[in-house]
Amino acid sequence: MAVPPTGFSGEIEAAGLAGGAYGGQVTALDLKEILRAHLEIPWPPLFLWGPPGVGKSSVVRQVATAMGLELVDLRMLLLDPVDLRGLPVPEGRKVIWAPPAFLPERGRGILFLDELNAAPPLVQASVYQLVLDRKLGEYTLPDGWHIVAAGNRESDRSIAHTMPSALLSRFEHLELVPDLDSWRAWAFEAAIDPSVIAFLEFRPELLYRFTDRSKAFPCPRTWEMVSRVLPLPLSAAALERVLEGCVGPGPATEFSLFRRNLAELPRLEEIAAGRDLLPSTPASGYAIVSGLVARYGRDPARRARMLEYAVLLGRHGWRELEVLLVRDLLRRDPALARDPGFEAWARENVGALG
């Protein structure tokens, strides 16, 4: 008979705090918070693990942009060891190493070592001193610069070399996992087609599904592709093939059927103007919510109406859609939290937003 864990170690195991093979698991929203905090200190550097297309490099770019930092994005797979160390240059009776021009010499920013574990062992070895001591020979990384690295997990069937423990121990490790709430918050900002946002709220398990049966598979990166190709002037049959090329045949078919079922969707402008038009199906409900947030989420003049419509949804049996609409409006425009109507709603719905 198994003996239950006791003591402090038992509390750790029972709480699920033992951690994963790739470090602490975080969502994109968590990672943004952690990155911002770490960029206030020069060390330790971060290593971001995660499957292809989950958004590791996108999060780093977004944080750099939001904080006004320069980003030097190095694809380590494409480098040779000498590319980082530089070239020897005679100087009198000595030789000095001239660092490459892409290494920063001033200012503030992120030195992003992407695909580090996909690089050959000699390239990985070339960053030992840079990661630990912030030096490469005579070169010193300026104080305002921070090192972040990223790579796919060995289980992701991508190019990956085992990283030596001496290099692993130089990083703090985090694993980025797909998360619909984080993706939705990003998607509204990135002007992703509302039908894509609504579909993934309806079928959240398709945000990320890796399969070896198709070269194309659904992930945050490929759903962004779907959004970008939807406006193309294509026939229905041609668009179907294009969607299959983005996310694979199964998810593409489901998404196409979802969009066809939205043909009778109430007009969003009529809802915003005050008409109490209700969804007829869960699919149309998610589409209405996503459309309203995308179109009116930052319009102060529409705040009262959006809250009124959310309450209407709840009164007619669409409680999940009521909470979803308020939550997404709040994320789209944080100023909503100071609105008297929202404050009243929040008091009546304590805990609804998580």
Look at residue 212 in the predicted model and tell me its pLDDT: 67
Q: 31 and 48 in contact (C-beta within 8 Å)?
A: yes
Asked if 161 and 288 sit in the same domain, the reply is no
Q: Supply the range of the domain harboring residue 280.
A: 265-354
| Longest Cα–Cα distance in the chain | 85
Report helix angle 319-332 to 180-189, nearest 10.
Answer: 50
Does residue 6 sit within a domain? no
Tens of pLDDT, residue by residue over 180-239, are 999 998 899 889 999 999 999 999 999 999 876 778 999 999 999 999 999 999 999 999
Q: Which residues pair with 145 in a beta bridge?
A: 109
Contacts of 92 (CB under 8 A, 6+ apart): none
Pick the closest to residue 113 from 85, 154, 75 (CA basis).
Answer: 75
Asked if 145 and 272 sit in the same domain, the reply is no
Asked if 54 and 141 sit in the same domain, the reply is yes
Tens of pLDDT, residue by residue over 277-320, are 999 888 889 999 999 999 999 999 999 999 999 999 999 999 99
pTM tops 0.85, yes or no: no
Look at residue 4 in the predicted model and tell me its pLDDT: 44
Q: Hey, what are 144's tokens?
A: 């305002």
User: Which one of 227, 244, 260 terminates a domain?
Assistant: 260
**CA gap 131, 250 in Å, rounded:** 43
Does residue 102 sit within a domain? yes
Does residue 301 sit within a domain? yes
DSSP letters, 299-344, are -GGGHHHHHHHHHHHHHTT-HHHHHHHHHHHHHH-GGGGG-HHHHH
Does residue 133 sit within a domain? yes
Look at residue 158 in the predicted model and tell me its pLDDT: 66
Which residues of the chain are modeled with pLDDT < 70?
A: 1-20, 155-159, 212, 354
- ω into 300 cis (within 30 of 0): no
Q: Hey, what are 329's tokens?
A: 């409006």
User: Which one of 224, 243, 260 terminates a domain?
Assistant: 260
Look at residue 351 in the predicted model and tell me its pLDDT: 78
Asked if 236 and 340 sit in the same domain, the reply is no
Does residue 99 sit within a domain? yes
Asked if 207 and 218 sit in the same domain, the reply is yes
| Total number of domains in the chain | 3
Question: Strand ranges (DSSP E) for the chain?
Answer: 24-26, 46-49, 70-75, 87-91, 94-98, 109-114, 135-136, 139-140, 145-151, 172-176
Look at residue 109 in the predicted model and tell me its pLDDT: 96
Does residue 64 sit within a domain? yes
Asked if 38 and 113 sit in the same domain, the reply is yes
The CATH number of the domain where 54 resides is what? 3.40.50.300
Asked if 246 and 273 sit in the same domain, the reply is no
Look at residue 15 in the predicted model and tell me its pLDDT: 41
